[in-house]
Amino acid sequence: MLPKRKPQNRVPLVPVSVVIIVVSFMFLYYYYMMPSSSLNGLSKNMALHSGQCSSQALALGEKFVWYAPHSGFSNQLSEFKNAILMAGILNRTLIVPPILDHHAVALGSCPKFRVFDPNEIRISVWNHVIELMRERRYISIAEIIDVSSLVSKSLVRVIDLRDFVSIWCGISLDSACLNDSTLQSSVSETLKQCGSLIAGLRGSDNKCVHAIRNDCRTTVWIYDQGGGEDGTLDPFQPDEQLKKKKNLSYVRKRRDVFKSLGPGSKVESASLLAFGSLFSSPYKGSELYMDIRESPQDQRLQSLMREIKYLPFVPEIMSAGKEFARRTIKAPFLCAQLRLLDGQFKNHHKATFQGLRQSLESLRQKGSEQIHIFIMTDLPRDHWTGTYLGDLVNDAHNYKVYFLRDTDEVVRQAAVKLMAAGHGQRFITNSKTVAGKKYCSNPSLPDVLLYVEQAVCGCASLGFVGTSGSTIAENIELMRKYGSGYCRS
């Protein structure tokens, strides 16, 4: 009798149909879970590697302009206004950037002729954009500043940077949020190529990108309209002492932006026009970088310049400021904006407090009993002791002091409503593939404290005291002059 053989361990045969189903499921999972434009970008980025625009980008037939914002929010708002102006004059669609972290990107000093090269600023902005996306902190400036009236009146066309990148580079900025290690290398390389292209690091191309190398050291942009000023010397030039000390050879000339960059110029055919910084301010009888004035000859330009003098915050911010004034302060109040810690302001505490002290004394002389004061300041509440602010808090008989924290419910609710509103999603007509798109999942709530504080100050019926030289104070003054009607509505 033959002995029984032990059964062998065999791998059971899997039907071919089951294998096909599993493989198909995996493919469909990755196809739908990964942003479609990321897949396109990974498979169709040959144009990026060659430093050229994709055929998809050129087929749009749309001309774009973007710029490199920097420094704090108020400076970024000033540049945004200038960018709207440039887009309107050049008849290009403005690529709307995110709000950058305070001082994440710096320009330098135009008066000292010590600024970063436009290429350096552009790529620094791009790198910070990727950082904001990865950390899910990206928020467009058009989600904070209301440009709906400009768009509805056809004074400017805009597109969100995220949507521009999806169309133009064939890859979604959402891909920066992916945690899949097998894809990160390819994604990072494609995003790097896209950034190099739109920042102009690969040079200029007649049909693709024209990277503007002019900056405040050599150029003041004007809109001359045949006045004969184009090419003339600007009144502000480096003085002889600075030339010798820094070995400078810069000559600042006034350049007509329309003649240099508009229809009929050498760069007219470029799909993308890339500026560096667009920051400008008055200095020694001139402007540091842009000196574009209203002209009776151009009614559209006049309308645009009137509109951008004051751009309000979006309704969610304005409503939060009004709500705090009505439901928490509940009385006429004075607003004091006190910048005490940053830059030049940290050495001028006495002068800053003196302006507030004088305003309060004036109100006291008018017979006011307990004066209500709203304080917005960069000095943390824990550090008020021993300062004039601490004295005001302690003098509860004469003064009632109010302030906001980012944890306060009115601020948090403003951020929640802001995210739900999606104000940044403004699309050009032929970009239907991205309309209504949602970006990286589970984004962080934006920090809106600074904006809500300014909206509160706009409602201060007893007056406003701002820090001398602060651009935040200038923005609040504009709000109080042109937009305070929301407080009474």
If you compute the radius of gyration of the chain from its CA atoms, what whole number of angstroms results? 27
Between CA 361 and CA 76 the distance in angstroms is 35
Mean pLDDT of 397-413: 96
Residue that is written with structure tokens 């749309």 in the block: 62
AA letter at 268: E
pLDDT at 64: 95
* Residue 431 pLDDT: 46
List, for residues 127-147, the tens digit of each pLDDT value. Answer: 999 999 889 899 999 999 999
CA-CA distances (angstroms) from residue 436 to 213, 253, 431? 35, 44, 11
Residue type, 248: L
In tens, the pLDDT along 297-343 reads 788 899 999 999 999 999 999 999 999 999 999 999 999 999 988 76
Q: pLDDT per residue over 445-480, tens digit each?
A: 999 999 999 999 999 999 999 998 889 999 999 999
> Which residues on adjacent β-strands are paired with residue 158?
94
Lowest mean pLDDT of 33-47, 202-216, 398-412, 427-441, name the range. 33-47
pLDDT of residue 428: 45
Provide the pLDDT for residue 14: 47
With contact defined as beta carbons under 8 Å apart, do 277 and 115 qualify?
yes
C-alpha closest to that of 408 among 440, 452, 438: 452
Mean pLDDT of 171-196: 79
Please give the Cα distance from 86 to 90 (Å, whole number). 6
- What pLDDT score was predicted for residue 38? 41
Residues 256-270: tens digit of each pLDDT: 999 999 999 999 999
The answer to whether 87 and 94 are in contact (CB under 8 A) is yes
pLDDT at position 337: 96
The alpha carbon of residue 181 and the mean position of all alpha carbons in its chain are separated, in whole angstroms, by: 30
What confidence tier does 220 reach under pLDDT thresholds 50, 70, 90? very high
Return the domain boundaries, the chain: 55-309, 315-483
Compute φ and ψ for 109, nearest 5 degrees: -130, 115
Q: What is the mean pLDDT of the chain?
A: 84
The CATH code that applies to domain 315-483 is: 3.40.50.11350
Q: Grade residue 426 by pLDDT with cuts at 50, 70 and 90.
A: very low
